[in-house]
Amino acid sequence: MSNQRIKTPCVGLCSTVYGDLVCRGCKRFHHEVVNWNGYSEEVKRSVWQRLEVLLAQVMAAKLEVFDATLLRSQLESRQIRFVADQSAYCWAYQLIARGARVIQQLEAYGVVLLPEFRDWSLPELRDAIDREFFLLSEAHYQRYIAPRFLQDMAR
Q: What pLDDT shows up at residue 14?
A: 85
pLDDT confidence tier of residue 6, bands split at 50, 70 and 90: confident
The number of folded domains in the chain is: 1
User: Has residue 96 been placed in a domain?
Assistant: yes
Answer yes or no: is 141 within a domain.
yes
DSSP string, 96-142: HHHHTTT-S-GGGGTEEE-GGGTTS-HHHHHHHHHHHHHHHHHHHII
Range of the domain at 68: 55-154
The 3-class secondary structure across 48-100, one letter per residue, is HHHHHHHHHHHHHCCEEECCHHHHHHHHHHCCCCCCCCCCHHHHHHHHHHHHC
For residue 18, is it within any domain? Answer: no
Q: Collapsing DSSP states into helix, strand and coil, what is residue 26? A: coil
User: What band does 3 get if pLDDT is binned at 50, 70 and 90?
Assistant: very low
- Average pLDDT of the chain? 91
Q: Is residue 86 part of a domain?
A: yes
Whether 34 is covered by a domain: the verdict is: no
Q: Determine the average pLDDT of the residues in 131-136.
A: 97
Domain-embedded: residue 83 = yes
Q: Label residue 151 by pLDDT band (50, 70, 90).
A: low
Segment among 19-28, 113-122, 144-153 with least mean pLDDT: 144-153
User: Is residue 128 in some structural domain?
Assistant: yes
- 49 in any annotated domain: no
Q: Model-level pTM? A: 0.90
Dihedral in degrees, nearest 10, Cα atoms 75, 76, 82, 84: 120
Displacement of CA 152 from its chain's centroid (Å): 29
